[in-house]
Chains A and B, each alone.
Chain A
Amino acid sequence: MASPEEEARIRQLIADSVEGGKRGNAAFAQVVTTYQSRVRAFCIRMVRNTADADDLTQQTFLKVWQNLATFRGDTSFIAWTIRIARNLCIDLLRKSNRFIPTDTTEPGNAFEHVTDDQSDYLSASAGMSALKVLENKETAEKVYDALDQMKVQQREILLLYHHQGLSYLEIATVLDIPQGTVMSRLFHARKAMQFELRSFYEKKNPTSGE
């Protein structure tokens, strides 16, 4: 979630953008710059195609621009934006009948170039056992493969929580579902991910007892 200062900065940029003119365009460009990577990464993970993701990112921000004056601020701006992106992704998946994963080669493994710093972050986050897992990039690839194979509903809940760092309340707003359902879906999505990975993990760690 964005800090209060960051959220205030964005709101000011939005207010400037709504005013229009050159100053408004410049302010909106800053908004886009701030959130472009997040939105694009979300779209990539949703549709698993970088070209489509670029188009969806563009469409998302154009819709944001068109509707900027209607942003009421009762949720965070990124949650509002991601909701637009998510709906566009779902539309595309419906149109192209891509609910069933067919392409697991894109967008590739985000851990292809994991740095030492990032490994440190990962190990600190997950503890020693996690470090064992993370020492092997194959595991990371497996995670992403599993993510790509998941149903859209499960994939998106993991993306919204882990990828976008949205709160339960924000996710509930994005998906238009109760918070309890958010927790339920997240729980089941993680279980599904865990199930996908269990046999892989057991093969790698036959004495782990998992």
Chain B
Amino acid sequence: MLTREQALLLDKHHDRETRGVEAAEARALLEANPDAKRYLADLEFLHDTLALPSHIDREGLGDAAIHARIMAEIEACSELEEATSAILTAGFRRECEEPADPALLARIMAGVAEQNQQRERVAAAATASDSLLDRLRSWGSGWAFTGAVAMAAALLAVTLSNRLAPGAPESAQTDPAKTTIINNYYVQAPRVDSLTPTSGFTASVTQGSQADDTATVIWLQPNGTLATAPKGSGPASSDPTLAGSGASPALPVHTD
């Protein structure tokens, strides 16, 4: 946003009436503030392109008469441009008026249902999380990790909600020595493929429907505290894969 003083300064600058310090101030403002650039572009458009009188400034845009004049200037284009506009408008209108695709509607509503379930699971998981984290801690202490091996082997990636999801692979949920990666979303066919605790972990999950919704990964550090990886992202059409080195709490997670 620009202050009134800044707008006035730009008005003067546009009219080439700024000198010395004032001109430098205007240049600095244009350099630093994107809104100033846009404002100047508007001025150039109004006065240079449309040749509106100089007393019509940006504030005048709210005036209906001036607005109508600008509209008239814009619309008063050549026949070719009219034709172009008509082509665009009519062609687009036809596209927009096509009947809704039932398959796409079904996809969207399936996603909505999934989100509803997700919300319910997250709410349920919130109440169950304390006991789950306690279990994680007990697993870590039971393994008696030491040094670098402990660092790597202590990697546990867990999602909370999927434990509660019907159909999730039981072995992945309950056998921490084998595989403990569980995906947070994509609950329709959850799958965990592998865990390599010596150098980190890699886990692939089944294809999901939402690019933004990726696993929340939590793992146990050698000191017994829990760390959370940042959310990953990836296109919905890919087969998302979680991967990371595991040596750092800032474990990267990728899903594409």
Contacts and interface: CB of A to CB of B under 8 A. Distances in A.
Interface of A: 20, 25, 28-29, 32-34, 36-38, 40-41, 44-45, 51, 54-55, 57-59, 61-62, 65-66, 95, 110-111, 114, 118, 121-122, 125-127, 129-130, 133-134, 139-140, 143-144, 147, 158-159, 162-165, 177-181, 183-184, 186-187, 190, 193-194, 197-198, 201, 210
A156 B73 CA distance: 21
A37 to B, nearest CB: 5
A129 B237 CA distance: 46
B105 interface: yes
User: By CB atoms of chain A within 10 A, which of B92, B107, B113, B235 has the most?
Assistant: B92
Given A118-B94, A134-B87, A180-B61, A36 B105 contact: yes
14 contacts: A32-B105, A33-B105, A37-B96, A41-B98, A55-B235, A55-B237, A62-B115, A65-B111, A126-B85, A133-B80, A133-B87, A177-B38, A181-B38, A201-B80
Contacts of B70: 183
Given A36-B101, A66-B115, A210-B78, A122 B94 contact: no
A41 B88 CA distance: 13
B64 to A, nearest CB: 13
Majority DSSP secondary structure for residues of A touching B:
helix
B41 A184 contact: yes
B112 to A, nearest CB: 5
Nearest to B37: A181
Contacts of A159: 92
Interface in B76-114: 77-101, 104-105, 107-109, 111-113
A40 B46 CA distance: 34
Interface residues of B, number: 53
B45 interface: yes
Contact of A143 (B46, B88, B97, B115): B88
Contacts of A37: 95-101
Contacts of A163: 88, 92, 95-96
A25 B95 contact: no
A38 B93 CA distance: 9
B41 to A, nearest CB: 6
A29 B111 CA distance: 12
Contacts of A111: 87, 91
Interface of B: 38-39, 41-42, 45-46, 49, 58, 61, 70, 74, 77-101, 104-105, 107-109, 111-113, 115-116, 209-212, 235-237
Contacts of B108: 32, 36, 57-58, 61-62
B90 to A, nearest CB: 5
A138 to B, nearest CB: 12
